[in-house]
Structure 1
Amino acid sequence: MIAKTMAELEDVLAEELINLGADEVQIGKRMVSFSGDKALMYKANLHCRTALRILKPIHSFKADNPDDVYEAIKKIDWEHYLSLDKTFAIDAVVYSHIFSHSKFVAYKVKDAIADWFMERYHKRPSVSVTNPDIALNIHIAHNQCTLSLDSSGESLHKRGYRIGQGEAPLSEVLAAGMILKSGWKGDSTFIDPMCGSGTLLIEAAMIALNIPPGIHRPQFAFEKWNDFDKELFSDIYNDDSGSRDFHFRIIGSDISSQMIAIAGKNIANAGLKKYIDLETKPFQNYTEAPKPAGVLMTNPPYGERMKPDDLEGLYSMIGERLKHAFTGYSAYILSYRKECFDHIGLKPSKRYFLFNGALECEMRHYELFAGKRYDRSRSEDKAKPRPYKPSTQSASNEEKPKKRINARYPEKRVPKLRINHRPSGAAPAEES
């Protein structure tokens, strides 16, 4: 099988899969290949925090032209995977000079499947781009082709708890990857002083309590497969043997009261309200850090989200508050411009390269020991940074909280939420 992920999170995903019992784990580019049974596929979808989707390869072949693709796909016995009353969709990923257009490859696969059914039944299954019963993925590297069933459906970053967000929300997968790379697992205080819609806070709480990230999803694609084992998945879904107690605090604050309100709704929707404290409070107003010391992790605005002239003041303020108010903490700051980090004025103990969407970013780790000084590489006679003045931009562009769509779960759920609860999907549908 193949687990897709974001660039620079492959090592974290590989460790997650090994912990779930995967064999033959190999790291690739934005993916990890592994072997395992049906139960492991279900577990990977439910438990992997840094996976975007889990693919199950069904056919591999070589193709030197589009006709080779068509013929190879048409030779597959599609009754094992698809039926006339089910819809399907094809996602093509192409890295090849032979095939210049991924959409053309997808059309060839679609035509081969349609013709296979037409020759036997004089009918063809329908295509549904938005909500297919069966999602197929074809990956081509040069002339090596792999056709897979997508067992996830919607990307696994869509956890199901988010009902509101700001202008530039952090991906749930990236947030979980940042926390896992830091090594924090709930053994100390966790704070995000610029928390936005609360993604880091929610992912931290789910890690601390060992709640599966997929617990709130309405459905996985494999639930529509012919061989879906409802009883097996129910046992996996309801197994809370790995749950943990959490004895510290998770704290979120933000300068925007509207973002705190949105974060509160997301947190409540995730059933984590009792574990996360929220407050409307600008970062610069912290004169003393919460005790006991632990981990500070945040995703401040970058240049795309604020005027360049404001960057120096913002990041200088962050460095000043880290130095004076958060002694004893380990701080992790995500940004993408070197000058942003330069304005923080502290020497990092470690740097992690990550991608936030298309932006090549860094997460820098700062150990905030007592008496920490600004990096001596900064010139002594450099002008003092301009004091940070928070933007007066309103939150009117931020998305208003959306109505809850996920009817699979009760309105309020708590971390023990999977006890005595069974997936509500209908009896196994024919694989399509």
Structure 2
Amino acid sequence: MSRNTFEMVAKTMSGLEEVLAEELTALGADNLQIGRRMVSFTGDQMLMYKANIHCRTALRILKPLFKFKAKNADEVYEEIKKFKWDDFLSEKNTFVIDEVVYSSLFTHSKFVAYRVKDGIADYFIQKTGKRPSVSITNPDIFINVHISENQCTVSLDSSGESLHKRGYRVAQTEAPLNEVLAAGMILKTGWRGECDFVDPMCGSGTLLIEAAMIAMNIPPGIYRPGFAFEKWPDFNQDLFDTIYQDDSNEREFKHKIYGSDILKSAIAISTENIKSAGVAKYIELKAMPFQQYKEAPSEKGILVTNPPYGERIKSDDLYGMYEMIGERLKHVFVGYTAWILSYRKDCFDKIGLKPSKKVPLINGSLECEFRRYDLFAGKKYDKKNKEEEQG
């Protein structure tokens, strides 16, 4: 098997770059460089397939083809037209352009995409008299154009649809948590299945499912209908099948995952998604408000949750809810580590506990914090008191 190595770029969400770098290192990636919402690395075809199937915090895996400098869309067109496209495309193929532009020189990113499309079309027309078509739905080739000021990078997107679209979600509640963010949050806590996991505001069940997959080391890409690289001219079906079917790294999970939500409709949706992901036997669900927890499901565990932020709930109710979260954590979840994702400082203040860690994350367009609370017995954060009580 060829060991031809090449550069790749894994895209991710803000705040998850370090976790993604750890995932890529574990898969055997070399020459890692962490950037903004991305990690570049080198590897071979096998690693590219593995990164798509196994990386929980990657949104897409790009294979850069060429780089150039340009000051306007016409210069981009000229450079695109020069490239030898028939190594990757033919006039019979369909393609789509995804453009990402951070530049004061280029004000219309859509116009850049049109000029890239024109450049590719004209390259083929000059050679064959025919041109490949653009297709938004299910194209053969996904082309990514990234412009930062005057630096342009043209890549093949090996993933196709964003990798957060795992393939297990059959239904969703309003504003569900992105699967990549959910997995990243859990990996940030350090939990890998060593104790029980609780989400008392579970919505459509994303944290529960991602936790089960992490605990058992089930690759997140195995439910997907496909990847863009499967349509590439050099696609190696045998190699892909070997990686896809290898379950030698899966682990036994000896604990339990508990989820609850105030809405019965959310629990119904969670149930469907959990069944679809094949992890139902590890997850216990209950329609129940957080304030009704009288005891923790087990003596020790981790609690990870993403409560509402107040976009659709009145402020009075919101503050009361965060006070209730703090009160339940203090009285019911002693001995646990709790992690809460939210974006308003005044909401965090209402929890009334001092966080031991604050991790900045982005949820949608909101700049959030993921805060850790160590829930000791006795008075808050009085270690001596804690030791006396336990002694």
Name the TM tier (shorter chain). Answer: over 0.9
Query: For residue 251 of structure 1, what is the aligned residue in structure 2?
Result: 258
The alpha-carbon deviation at position 305 of structure 1 amounts to 2.6
1:25 Cα deviation (Å)? 0.5
Residue 5 in 1 paired to residue 12 in 2? yes
Residue 209 of structure 2 corresponds to residue 202 of structure 1: yes
2:193 is matched with 186
Q: Distance in 2 between matches of 1:70 and 1:86?
A: 20
Counterpart position of 2:171? 164
Q: Hey, what does 1:220 align to over in structure 2?
A: 227
Matches within 5 A, 1:4-403: 4-373=11-380
1:98-118 Cα distance to aligned partner (Å, 9 max, x none): 211111111111001000111
Identity among equivalent pairs (%): 69
Name the counterpart of 2:388: none
| Equivalent pair of 1:194/1:299 in contact (CA under 8 Å) | yes
The CA distance in 2 between the partners of 1:315 and 1:331, in whole Å, is 14
CA contact (8 A) 1:345 1:374 kept: no
| Secondary structure, aligned partner of 1:247 | coil
Looking at structure 2, the residues matched to 337 and 34 of structure 1 have their Cα atoms a distance apart, in angstroms, of: 36
Work out the CA distance in 2 between the residues paired with 1:325 and 1:292: 10
Question: Hey, which of these two has a bigger chunk of strand by percent?
Answer: 2
Q: Cα RMSD between the aligned structures?
A: 1.1
Letter in 2 for 1:320: E
Matching residue's letter, 1:105: V
Which residue number corresponds to residue 387 of structure 2?
Answer: none
Shift of 1:69: 1.0
TM-score w.r.t. the length of structure 2 is: 0.94
Which whole-Å CA distance do the structure 2 matches of 1:134 and 1:224 have between them?
7
Report how far residue 64 of structure 1 moved.
Answer: 2.3
For residues 222-277 of structure 1, the C-alpha deviation after alignment (integer angstroms, 9 at most, x for no partner) is 00000000000000001111110000010101111111111000000000111111
Please report how far the alpha carbon of residue 371 of structure 1 lies from its aligned counterpart in structure 2 after TM superposition: 1.3
| More moved, 230-239 vs 122-131 | 122-131
Query: Residue 323 of structure 1 contacts residue 372 of structure 1 at CA under 8 Å; is this kept in 2?
Result: no
Per-residue Cα deviation, 1:378-404 (whole angstroms, up to 9, x for no partner): xxxxxxxxxxxxxxxxxxxxxxxxxxx
State whether residues 188 and 292 of structure 1, in contact with CA within 8 Å, keep that contact through their aligned partners in structure 2: no
SS in 2 for 1:303: coil
CA displacement at 1:372 relative to structure 2:
4.1
Once the 2 structures are TM-superposed, how far is the Cα of residue 374 of structure 1 from its aligned partner?
9.0
How many residues in Structure 1 have an aligned counterpart in Structure 2? 375
- The letter for the 2-side match of 1:331 is A
CA distance in 1, matches of 2:326, 2:131: 62
Higher RCO by CA contacts (8 Å cutoff, separation 6 or greater): 1
Q: Which runs of 5+ in 1 are unaligned?
A: 376-432
Q: Which structure: greater helix fraction?
A: 2
SS of 1:312 mapped into structure 2: helix
SS in 1 for 2:285: strand
- Which residue is 1:405 aligned to? none
Amino acid at match of 2:36: K
Distance in 2 between residues matched to 1:144 and 1:257, nearest whole Å? 51
Letter in 1 for 2:31: E
CA distance in 1, matches of 2:322, 2:299: 25
| Equivalent position amino acid for 1:297 in 2 | V
- Relative to the length of structure 1, the TM-score reads 0.86
Distance in 2 between residues matched to 1:84 and 1:65, nearest whole Å: 27
- 1:143-173 per-residue CA deviation (whole Å, 9 max, x = no partner) reads 1111000000000000000011111100000
Pair 1:106–1:43, CA change in 2 (3 A): same
Is the contact between residue 133 and residue 221 of structure 1 (CA under 8 Å) also seen in structure 2?
Answer: yes
**Structure 1 residue 218: deviation in Å?**
0.1
CA distance in 1, matches of 2:309, 2:74: 47
Residue 84 (structure 1) shift = 1.7
CA distance in 1, matches of 2:16, 2:380: 32
User: Structure 1 CA distance, aligned partners of 2:270 and 2:312?
Assistant: 19
Q: Which residue of 2 aligns with 1:413?
A: none
8 Å contact kept, 1:319–1:343: yes
